Chains A and B, each alone.
Chain A
Amino acid sequence: MNFESTGAAPVLSVEQLTIELHGGAQTLVHDLSFDVHPGEFLAVVGESGSGKTMAARAILQLLPPGIAQIGGRIVFEGEDLGTRDVKAMRPIRGPGIGMVFQEPMVSLNPVHRIGEQMAEGLRMHTALSTPEIRARCLDMLRRVQIADPERCMDAYPHEFSGGMRQRIMLASVMLLAPRLLIADEPTTALDTLSQREVLDLMVGLAKDHGTAVLLITHNLGLVGRYAQRAIVLEKGRLVETGSVPGILIAPQQPYTRRLVDALPRRQASKPPADAAAQPLLQVRGLCVSYPGARAGLFKRHPPQHVIESLDLDIHAGEMVALVGGSGSGKTTLGRAILRLAASQGGQILFRGEDVRKADRAALRRFRLACQLVFQDPFSSLDPRMRVQDIVAEPLRHVPELDAPARARRVRETLDEVGLEQLGARYPHELSGGQRQRVAIARALVRRPAFVVADEPVSALDMTIQAQVLRLFQSLQAHHGFACLFISHDLAAVEQIADRVIVMERGRIVEQGTRDALFDAPRHGYTRALLEATPRPLASLASAEVEPLDERAFA
């Protein structure tokens, strides 16, 4: 396991790599050196702006225009790749170094069939005949557990989900059995279950072909589960190199420690809500369905049921987490409760009043008492408004506050989310974490009784995630609003929730207090979700929780 001492020649050595924006306006990677040994699983850890993606692109000589490698060498199997021109790089890309990109939705060409795209690499780099190529593709699709590979070969990318596309992408890269596989955040866009499937397959395939893997990620959980060694980048500089799990248990550098500290961890549970009191929100038999596709001029296919007769209680001041994979209907449920999405049946009782049948005035009262925090802080703020105007806008509908009181409230709220200095800025002048704080301030400025937070931290960097999560938690404790926290990240849920509800295909399959659900899950789907969630702290604290054979090459 310790590659440094075995003395085997590394498959890739990056030596003092320096990357700059043209003209030296900004140095993106400083003096970076690391080795990847044959068959090794190395993780490159860093937050956005750490230069991890640029380093990976430099290895393949695929730096975007305007960005150039100005120093250092990239030695692949004993040869400096910098000396090769575009044409000479071709035999390297593919059979030498394969790459899996982050966005499965755009990395496959939508106008070509899967079979054609997979065959491309083999046709270019090998002398195999067409039937042989087809046979190999089919084998590989079977290996990545695509159901009905024959049909898949003739299908187009849009017919597959993100997880399946990423598996197909992985299959086509591994067809050429590269010596090194670079995976740039390959599962960031996927839900927990697909993430686990893809990475398990990646590890298995790499083992089959003796491929070394360079996994670029911001997720320390994945590092803990899959990697043998990790290097940590901060703002283009290498800050720490170490073996896993050592680097997670005893980080040497302050930055690494900050990253490890940012991992969500469970906190003391609050006393349960008074079950006798009337719940703030009661959902009874809620149904949501989308009309079926048109099947003719007047006919439609039967409607698609997204949520089927669902019951749910949320007490005042309670933090309820709603978890499930993508397509489980959790976002739809949140929107249906807030009446942003239409529902087809059932009751939504807020303080005993059915908001599904509410008249204008009642709906208005409901809206005034409820708020939503969106997932994507980049599209939830109007780009043409200043932060203070965005936060002040909800107060339009609070007539009892006069202008000075409003200004005071806005200042107070910005203060609470730590943005007191930034009121005059526009959203584009803020970072993702700051934007999400603005969105939280906008949601809380009217002191709502109930907030739906739809994946509020999943678009953020990990240290920022931790900060925003803690902020949200302390604001909830301070103001005491009830919250439906929608998430696919069970690690975050473990930190924040009082009660957890697990949804699968539009139904609640399990619910219970956080401790009960995390420590003794009853339903198979809950167990699958929990197992797929990398929780390095839980597994490191008691090493036997995660069996060693799960670590790919041990």
Chain B
Amino acid sequence: MMKFKTHTLIGGALVAGLLVMALVAAAWTPYNPLGIDLRSKLQPPSASHWLGTDEFGRDVASRAMRAASTSCLVALLTVVLATSIGLLVGVVAGFVRGWTDRVLMALNDALLAFPGLLLALGVMVNVGANQWGIVLALSLAYAPSVVRVVRGTVLSLREREYVEASRMIGNSEAYTMWRHVLPNCIAPVAVLATSMFGWVLLSESALSFLGLGVPPPAPTWGNMLSSARPYMASAIWLCVVPGLCIALTLLGINLLGETLRDRLDPRTEKSS
């Protein structure tokens, strides 16, 4: 139990810090994150600009804060959407079996065979490069792996005797699926969802880096990194700040994910 406590504390502190930052940024930032001030461009960290300024003289601290809310919102929505799609398709495929399963899994495998980023790029081109485009594109890219995990879990759960017992009681198949199969899939899905949050954050950064993310001038950590590239040698803080933000967020989410997994399973509460 002690081991998990440190994990929980560090992870919790990091994620709480992130949330506070995102919330505060919605109402207040030290400077206008979009305010251009060409006279004070590319300044190193100082008392007036804690984390320096970028090539247009915008305050890096303010931009990183505002980016936190954009990036996290995109990642959160994507994770929720991808997990929902994955749960729905996975449970249906695993529980109904037969032709439904075969068709769904064939489609799923076709999607899995595409590199995720490439798939997302394709969708973005069609939907348009904005916040919702990213959420949709990344959800489609990440849902297939959730489907795989859920279907596998359901396949093993449906052979459990308590599922048979539910049938014996006279419960309908749909009720059995909802009441006895779905809740027991949650633990593996929650673990997957937390690590997915990290991947999505990275993918969103990668898309922004490629110029297909949230359109400028709105800041995300990804497009901040992308525009910092030419100044890597002269203004190192421009890439360190968003880079560090991404790294610390991932760390916090993963640590918290581990705790979550142990908490979600009623059986591990005592034994761990």
CA distance A230 to B171 in the complex (A): 50
Contact residues in A for B161 (Cβ distance below 8 Å): 374, 376, 379-380
Contact residues in A for B266 (Cβ distance below 8 Å): 383-384, 426, 428
Binary contact readout B180-203 vs A (1 if CB under 8 angstroms, 0 otherwise): 100110000000000000000000
**In contact, B183 and A442 (Cβ under 8 angstroms):** no
A372-B165, A374-B165, A384-B183 known; A364 vs B170 contact (CB < 8 Å): yes
Contact of A429 among B162, B168, B270 (CB under 8 A): B270
Query: Nearest-CB distance from A326 to chain B (Å)?
Result: 18
CA distance A442 to B166 in the complex (A): 10
Q: Is the C-beta of B113 less than 8 angstroms from some C-beta in chain A?
A: no
A374's closest neighbor in chain B, by CB?
B161
Contact of A340 among B164, B170, B184, B270 (CB under 8 A): B164
Segment with Cβ contacts to B, from A389-397, A409-417, A533-541: A389-397
Q: Is the C-beta of A99 less than 8 angstroms from some C-beta in chain B?
A: no
**In contact, A367 and B170 (Cβ under 8 angstroms):** yes
Query: Nearest-CB distance from B183 to chain A (Å)?
Result: 5
Contact of B162 among A364, A370, A379 (CB under 8 A): A379
**In contact, A396 and B171 (Cβ under 8 angstroms):** yes
Q: Is the C-beta of A382 less than 8 angstroms from some C-beta in chain B?
A: yes
Binary contact readout B229-272 vs A (1 if CB under 8 angstroms, 0 otherwise): 00000000000000000000000000000000000001100100
Contact residues in A for B179 (Cβ distance below 8 Å): 382
CA distance A429 to B269 in the complex (A): 10
Contact residues in B for A364 (Cβ distance below 8 Å): 170
Contact residues in B for A439 (Cβ distance below 8 Å): 165
Q: Is the C-beta of B102 less than 8 angstroms from some C-beta in chain A?
A: no
Q: Is the C-beta of B169 less than 8 angstroms from some C-beta in chain A?
A: yes
Q: Is the C-beta of B97 less than 8 angstroms from some C-beta in chain A?
A: no
A376-B161, A384-B183 known; A428 vs B267 contact (CB < 8 Å): yes
Number of A interface residues in the complex (CB < 8 A): 25
**In contact, B165 and A442 (Cβ under 8 angstroms):** yes
Query: Nearest-CB distance from B12 to chain A (Å)?
Result: 25
Contact residues in A for B184 (Cβ distance below 8 Å): 382-384
Contact residues in B for A368 (Cβ distance below 8 Å): 170
**4 nearest A-B residue pairs (beta carbon):** A380-B161, A394-B169, A397-B170, A367-B170
Q: Which residues of A approach B to under 8 Å, CB–CB?
A: 338, 340, 364, 367-368, 370-372, 374, 376, 379-384, 393-394, 396-397, 426, 428-429, 439, 442
> What are 21 A-B residue pairs whose CB atoms fall within 8 Å in the complex?
A367-B168, A370-B168, A372-B164, A372-B168, A374-B161, A374-B164, A374-B165, A379-B160, A380-B160, A380-B165, A381-B162, A381-B165, A382-B166, A383-B266, A393-B166, A393-B171, A396-B171, A426-B266, A426-B267, A428-B266, A442-B169
Q: Which residues of B approach A to under 8 Å, CB–CB?
A: 160-162, 164-171, 179-180, 183-184, 266-267, 270
A382-B179, A394-B170, A442-B165 known; 20 other A-B pairs, CB under 8 Å?
Answer: A340-B167, A340-B168, A367-B169, A368-B170, A370-B168, A372-B168, A374-B161, A374-B164, A379-B162, A380-B160, A380-B161, A380-B162, A380-B164, A380-B165, A381-B162, A382-B162, A384-B184, A384-B266, A396-B169, A428-B266
